[in-house]
């Protein structure tokens, strides 16, 4: 591949002597799918942090960008993607206000770096020319330059820079090519501010906030701007088009086909879940053994008493029971990152748009719903890209039906206890099919609920959905690794704080009030202790209501505790069943569930009970964080309470039908 040409600003470390004190604030802007995330990760590495913009719940990502010439690292702000300064959603409004210096509590950027896709210059330069018109310091980072070269596009960056009046620097983020030139261009732009911008001379410019103009004026300005962009691109770019479809176009003929596309999507999901179950067993067992050994060490070296019980049965059993599922969660995010980075997720959005429009949802609902497979909280936050308030509320109301990563440990525990080792056709594990079924069922229920809402309380026509399909590309290992590191950090931080605190509280609720010794022996002591504890009393209180679902009072304790965080039912059951107290086969939670019996000798847990519990967790809103974020996003308690109520009723009915219907059919 040919070398990337140097930026026309001719910036070198010897030529710059900048009289500047303090660090720069740089905004990174660009269209969605323009390579902005890859560029941000390459510029900042691991020097990043994620928070929320002041006063709103839209995620903010910033990092430190090392600059040359002995300057302190710059603060680089990765803005939400936007196509123009004529914002139509909250995400775009936030990005626009920061770029134009209107955002309160956020420092105006010293320089704006605009990521422009070299393979789609006309579309991407629309935002760039708008920002140039504002008179701010702008540097264009021409991303995906290697792909443009492979497409035989010959881009004269000097001509393009002269026409725009700002530095244009070609970069290949994943290979770190052009990043030094980009840094020099940013530093140079602070020292030498461009004047007499060509865009201003040649186009009847409009104010950046185009809402001041009527429809005719905005349309006229848009045409003039695109005419200017097309002219300078035609002068600066030599295209070689032999008329043959590109590789991406040829792949899309199959992947986005009306019949084959959905089948391929289902096959991809099945392969992902099959891989998760096949590869995660070894590390999960290893983590389980480590925590078991840690509990044994604590029990053998600490004096018997309530403090030792807290450490072994509360902290180690509670936290270890959840951390053991980290490998599966990371593998799920690994595959999601691969699919996103390769460009396939955009095709999945295209395929599901037909389904969403059929039930009255906006096509933009796909991204929030997809995010909800990781966690409903960022998924609900992502609905701010949806302009219509009724469409946005409808998407929020169904987002918790997507099987988030916190449900995965529940599914996995039930499968390990009752469906482990079973195969279909001798190849596909029953567990993978059950997980796929849970995900598909959640989507199906969400579609039905959305259809009902959009025809009743949230009736409104869905606007057209226009989206770009980015070209297929090899996933960036750095992006994938960073996504996994971020997710594991978040999970372990949650395990070390929220889940740790809940485990300690649950242990206390199970350990108090203390029961006296029983003449029947230690096992009877443990049973009496749990049954008469505060947690046991709460579980017995709701047992009559949950008994038709196949649940006893111990499961009831788990249902109550899981409202704080879904995955805490694992640590709750570990504590309630006193997992790890013996060295026999009951030392694992799976073994404890398989061997748990009622007073009459019948099994507490059966495959039908496990399936009923999975259905309940799939459909119920068992998450305090989700309720809190819905309250914040809707600015009302009406919608979160409505969501909790209707989802609880739906979960109860579905679980009841599953358990009672299964019994009628002869299943156990």
pLDDT at position 50 is 58
Q: What share of the chain is helix, strand, coil (3-state, %, to 5)?
A: 60, 10, 30
Cα 499 to Cα 246, 328, 491, 643: the distances in Å are 50, 18, 10, 24
On the 0-12 / 13-18 / 19+ scale of CB atoms within 10 A, 287 is middle
Name the percent of the chain lying above pLDDT 70. Answer: 85
Which tokens go with 465? 């959905």
**What pLDDT was estimated at residue 1?**
36
Consecutive H or E run containing 462: none
DSSP state of 637: S
Alpha-carbon distance of 168 to 236, in angstroms, equals 12
Flag whether pLDDT at 202 surpasses 50. no
Whether residue 96 contacts residue 123, with contact meaning beta carbons closer than 8 Å, is answered with: no
Determine if the peptide bond prior to 151 is cis (ω within 30°): no
Task: Tell me if 652 is assigned to some domain.
Answer: no
In a domain, 390, yes or no: no
Nearest-angstrom CA–CA distance, 63 and 56? 20
For residue 177, being part of any structural domain is answered with yes
CA end-to-end span of the chain: 64
What distance in Å separates the CA atoms of residue 592 and residue 413, rounded to the nearest whole number? 11
Tell whether omega for the bond before 513 is within 30 degrees of 0, i.e. cis.
yes
CA dist., res. 317 & res. 589, Å (int): 10
471 near 347, Cβ under 8 Å? Answer: no
Q: Which of 165-179, 195-209, 382-396, 419-433 is the most confident on average?
A: 165-179
Q: How far apart are CA 64 and CA 367, in angstroms?
A: 28
Taking the model in full, what pTM does it have? 0.66
The structure tokens listed for 150 are 């492979």
Q: What is the spatial distance between Cα 343 and Cα 147, in angstroms, rounded to a whole number?
A: 14
Instruction: Compute, in degrees rounded to 10, the torsion defined by CA atoms 605, 610, 613, 614.
Output: 160
**Continuous H helices in 33-133:** 36-44, 90-99, 121-133
Whether pLDDT at 20 is above 60: no
Whose structure tokens read 């997710």? Answer: 487
Q: Using CA atoms, how far apart are residues 451 and 456, in angstroms rounded to an integer?
A: 9
Q: Residue 406 above 90 pLDDT?
A: no
pLDDT at 233 over 90: yes
Nearest to 499 by CA among 588, 572, 557: 572
363, 467 in Cβ contact below 8 A? Answer: yes
Whether 240 and 287 have beta carbons less than 8 Å apart is answered as no
**CATH code: domain of residue 160:** 3.40.50.300
CA–CA gap between residue 6 and residue 161 (Å, rounded): 12
Helix axes 247-255, 344-358, angle to 10 degrees: 40
Do residues 486 and 51 make contact, with C-beta atoms less than 8 angstroms apart?
no
> Cα separation of 130 and 132, whole Å?
5
359 — pLDDT class (breaks 50, 70, 90): confident
Q: What is the pLDDT confidence band of residue 59, given thresholds at 50, 70 and 90?
A: low
* 134 within a domain of the structure (yes/no): yes
412 within domain boundaries: no
- Evaluate if residue 187 carries a pLDDT over 70: yes
The helix or strand, by DSSP H or E, that contains position 65, with its residue range, turns out to be strand 59-65
Task: Give me the helices (H) in 168-244, please.
Answer: 179-191, 198-202, 215-236
Residues in the chain: 668
Domain count, the chain: 1
Strand bridging mode 74-78 / 237-238: unpaired
Q: Is residue 437 part of a domain?
A: no
CA 158 – CA 356 distance, rounded (Å): 45
Q: How confident is the prediction for the chain on average, in pLDDT?
A: 82
Q: Which residue has the tokens 């979960």?
A: 651
In contact, 4 and 177? CB cutoff 8 Å: yes
pLDDT tens figures, 318-334: 788 778 878 877 887 78
Cβ atoms of 89 and 386 closer than 8 Å: yes
* Residue 170 pLDDT class (50, 70, 90 cuts): very high
User: Quick one: DSSP state of residue 364?
Assistant: G
- For strand 428-429 and strand 423-424, is the pairing parallel, antiparallel, or unpaired? antiparallel
What is the Cβ-side half-sphere exposure of residue 334, based on CA atoms within 13 angstroms?
15
Q: CA 81 to CA 663: how far, in whole Å?
A: 52
Most confident of 354-363, 365-374, 396-405: 396-405
- Checking if the pLDDT of 100 tops 70, the result is yes
Q: Cα 260 to chain center, whole Å?
A: 27
How much is the pLDDT for 526? 66
pLDDT digits (tens, 9 = 90+) for 123-146: 999 999 999 999 899 999 999 898
- Asked if 577 and 309 count as a contact pair (C-beta separation under 8 A), the reply is no
pLDDT (tens digit per residue) in 499-515: 788 788 878 888 888 76
Is 54 within the bounds of a domain?
yes
Nearest Cα neighbor of 316 from 614, 587, 593 is 587
Q: 270-274, 453-457, 544-548: which has the minimum mean pLDDT?
A: 270-274
Query: pLDDT digit string (tens) for 462-485?
Result: 656 556 677 788 887 877 887 788
| Mean pLDDT of the 27-46 span | 88
Range of the domain at 126: 25-238
Residue 470 lies in a domain: no
Task: Pinpoint the alpha helices (H) of 247-325.
Answer: 247-255, 260-301, 306-309, 317-323
Question: H helices of 10-120, where?
Answer: 36-44, 90-99
């Amino acid at each position: 591949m040919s070398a990337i040409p140097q930026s026309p600003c001719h910036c070198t470390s010897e030529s710059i002597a900048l009289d500047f004190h303090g660090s720069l604030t740089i905004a990174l802007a660009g269209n969605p799918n323009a390579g902005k995330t890859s560029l941000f990760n390459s510029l900042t590495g691991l020097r990043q942090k994620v928070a929320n913009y002041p006063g709103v719940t839209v995620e903010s990502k910033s990092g430190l960008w090392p600059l040359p010439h002995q300057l302190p690292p710059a603060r680089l702000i990765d803005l939400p993607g936007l196509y123009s300064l004529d914002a139509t959603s909250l995400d775009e409004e936030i990005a626009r206000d920061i770029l134009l210096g209107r955002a309160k509590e956020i420092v105006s950027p010293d320089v704006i770096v605009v990521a422009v896709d070299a393979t789609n210059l006309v579309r991407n330069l629309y935002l760039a020319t708008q920002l140039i018109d504002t008179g701010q310091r702008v540097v264009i980072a021409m991303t995906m330059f290697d792909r443009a070269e492979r497409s035989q596009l010959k881009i004269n960056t000097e001509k393009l820079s002269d026409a725009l009046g700002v530095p244009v620097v070609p970069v290949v983020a994943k290979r770190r090519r052009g990043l030094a030139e980009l840094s020099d261009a940013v530093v140079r732009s602070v020292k030498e501010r461009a004047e007499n911008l060509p865009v201003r001379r040649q186009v009847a410019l409009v104010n950046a906030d185009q809402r001041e103009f009527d429809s005719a004026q905005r349309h006229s300005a848009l045409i003039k701007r695109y005419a200017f962009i097309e002219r300078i691109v035609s002068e600066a770019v030599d295209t070689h088009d032999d008329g043959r479809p590109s590789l991406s176009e040829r792949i899309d003929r199959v992947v986005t086909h009306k019949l084959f596309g959905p089948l391929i999507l289902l096959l991809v999901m099945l392969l992902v879940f099959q891989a998760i179950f096949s590869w995660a067993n070894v590390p999960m067992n290893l983590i389980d053994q480590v925590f078991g050994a840690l509990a044994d060490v604590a029990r053998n070296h600490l004096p018997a008493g309530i403090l030792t019980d807290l450490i072994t049965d509360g902290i180690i059993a509670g936290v270890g029971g959840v951390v053991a599922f980290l490998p599966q969660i990371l593998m799920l995010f690994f595959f999601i990152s691969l699919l996103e980075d390769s460009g396939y997720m955009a095709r999945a959005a295209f395929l599901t748009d037909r389904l969403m429009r059929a039930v009255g949802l906006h096509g933009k609902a796909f991204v929030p719903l997809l995010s909800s497979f990781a966690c409903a909280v960022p998924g609900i936050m992502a609905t701010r890209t949806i302009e219509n308030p009724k469409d946005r509320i409808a998407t929020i109301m169904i987002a918790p039906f997507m099987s988030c990563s916190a449900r995965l440990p529940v599914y996995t525990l039930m499968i390990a206890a009752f469906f482990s080792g079973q195969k279909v056709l001798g190849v596909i594990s029953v567990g993978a099919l059950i997980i796929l079924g849970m995900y598909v069922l959640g989507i199906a229920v969400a579609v039905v609920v959305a259809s009902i809402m959009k025809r009743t309380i949230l009736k409104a026509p869905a606007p057209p959905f226009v989206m770009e399909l980015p070209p297929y590309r090899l996933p960036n290992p750095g992006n994938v690794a960073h996504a996994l590191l971020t997710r594991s950090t978040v999970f372990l931080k949650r395990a070390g704080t929220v889940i740790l605190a809940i485990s300690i509280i649950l242990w206390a609720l199970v350990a108090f009030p203390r029961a006296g010794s029983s003449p029947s022996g230690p096992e009877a002591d443990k049973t009496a202790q749990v049954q008469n504890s505060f947690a046991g009393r709460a579980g017995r209180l709701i047992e009559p209501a949950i008994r038709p679902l196949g649940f006893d009072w111990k499961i009831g304790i788990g249902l109550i505790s899981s409202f704080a965080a879904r995955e805490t039912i694992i640590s709750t059951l570990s504590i309630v069943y006193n997992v790890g107290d013996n060295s026999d086969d009951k030392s694992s939670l799976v073994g404890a569930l398989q061997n748990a019996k009622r007073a009459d000798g019948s099994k507490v847990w059966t495959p039908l009970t496990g399936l009923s519990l999975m259905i309940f967790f799939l459909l119920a809103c068992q998450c305090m964080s989700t309720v809190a974020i819905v309250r914040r996003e809707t600015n009302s308690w009406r919608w979160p309470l409505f969501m909790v109520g209707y989802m609880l009723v739906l979960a109860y009915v579905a679980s009841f039908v599953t358990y009672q219907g299964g019994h009628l059919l002869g299943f156990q």
